[in-house]
Structure 1
Amino acid sequence: MPLDHQTKILMDRTDSILYYAASGLPQDQGAGWIGGNAPGFFDDQEDLIHEGGQRYIFYLSLVHPFKPGSMISIFIPEDYEEYLENNIYPNCSIKVMEHPISTESVKDTFTNPGLIKHTISDGEVSHEEQSLDQSFLIKVGGNPRLIQNEDYYFTKLREESFSFLFQVDEEGYPETLLQHDYSYPFGFGSLYIFAKIGTSEIQHPVAGFWQFS
């Protein structure tokens, strides 16, 4: 992506990139996937993902919009109460991993039984004001669309110079994404990812917080 577009999205925040979940779209035509198996990069890396007695399941992988050779993958605790109680940085239990581009694994080591795999569409640049008024699965850059606009969500993130990178919004789930009798992982809410954002590089993506209505 040209640097001037990146500046509008992450610095000026006048534009954003929107992604949608699609069924039937070949994976090689999209920007990642939600549900299904984790990337093959994590094969045989259970020790990296699981922590002590806490087991994690795969949520989604997105090709990094500003680093074509990288992906960002998200894992959530198997135990809903664990991440319900630990939902704000630096105590947010959601794991965000940046890693080299990887195809989906054939192993179901981390697979979330509640999600039916969907491809994530290629991103579309949108003007910020328009993006805040429409449905999306993922919104990169611009400003976060918050469910609760409370300062305490941002306190530690600002202290450590983290800035908003993207959000995953469950309002943008297609009806075909959830298995029958399974609940929304974030309670029909939204997950907010932050990173250290400089003029030339983006580093250390982390789960900032998640909210639900």
Structure 2
Amino acid sequence: MNHFRSILEERTESILYSASPCSSEHAAGWIGGNAPAYFDDKADTIHDGDQNYYFYLSLVHPFKPASMISIFIPNDYEEYVEHNQYPDCSIKVMEHPMTDESLNDHVAHPGLIKHLISHPESCSDFQSIDQSFLVKFGGSPRLVQDEDYYSERLREEGFSFLLQVDEEGYPETLLREDSSYPFGFGALYIYAKITTNDVQDLIAGFWQFS
């Protein structure tokens, strides 16, 4: 409980993840590849009307080991460029029971080669400032554009920073040849309602490009 509070409330610690193409029995999730099998019969939760989505990544929830956090992004880049900030951010974030990767590739992102997300490493939030990472869970966000208006409404409505996915931490082997960074060599910031012993209502707060 104290570790949870330090990471998510006191903001003194962070959990950092990297990605690798190598197989590992200690993987904490994956980026690229197929969506979790949980979504095989839940197409209606992935797509919105005529807007289709690609699977981006799944991460085992560090404080709920039977759960995963999965992220989906619209297949229309202009759609999520235009809708890049709460309450109109079009990136989808879903918490769900842990399942293996699906055999169905119908929502696989064509620009990403599957990589495994490493077992997490804890460090002080201060130390994380100068470290490269794919995912930072807890602590304080490392912003590409340090502007209050991105998070002001989120804070007013009781949301707190939960994690970020940072494209600076992409391995060189993650992007297919001639593919673009999904977030313009930027970062995606996920927020949630955080209490002393629980995390609820995960949402995509905003994303920024460099």
User: TM class, shorter-chain normalised?
Assistant: over 0.9
1:50 has 2:47 as partner: yes
Identity of aligned residues (%): 66
Q: Which residue of 2 aligns with 1:21?
A: 19
Paired residue type of 1:41: Y
SS at match of 1:5: helix
SS at match of 2:8: helix
Does the aligned pair in 1 maintain the 2:4–2:197 contact within 8 Å? no
From 150, 167, 173, the counterpart of 1:176:
173
1:118 has 2:101 as partner: no
User: In 2, distance between residues paired with 1:147 and 1:200?
Assistant: 30
**Which structure 2 residue ranges, 5 or more long, are not aligned?**
none
1:7 has 2:5 as partner: yes
TM-score normalized by structure 1?
Answer: 0.97
SS at match of 1:58: strand
Cα deviation, 1:155-187, whole Å, max 9, x if unaligned, reads: 221121000000000000000000001000000
Q: Which residue of 2 aligns with 1:198?
A: 195
Paired residue type of 1:203: Q
TM-score normalized by structure 2?
Answer: 0.98
User: In 2, distance between residues paired with 1:10 and 1:40?
Assistant: 29
TM-align CA RMSD: 0.7
Paired residue type of 1:68: P
Q: Which residue of 1 aligns with 2:204?
A: 207
How many residues align? The count is 210
From 72, 96, 104, the counterpart of 1:107:
104
From 160, 164, 168, the counterpart of 1:163:
160
SS at match of 1:166: strand
The structural deviation recorded for 1:11 is: 1.0
Cα deviation, 1:181-211, whole Å, max 9, x if unaligned, reads: 1000000000000000001211011000000
Matches within 5 A, 1:9-158: 9-26=7-24, 28-158=25-155
User: In 1, distance between residues paired with 2:65 and 2:22?
Assistant: 24
The structural deviation recorded for 1:44 is: 2.2
**Which structure 1 residue ranges, 5 or more long, are not aligned?**
none
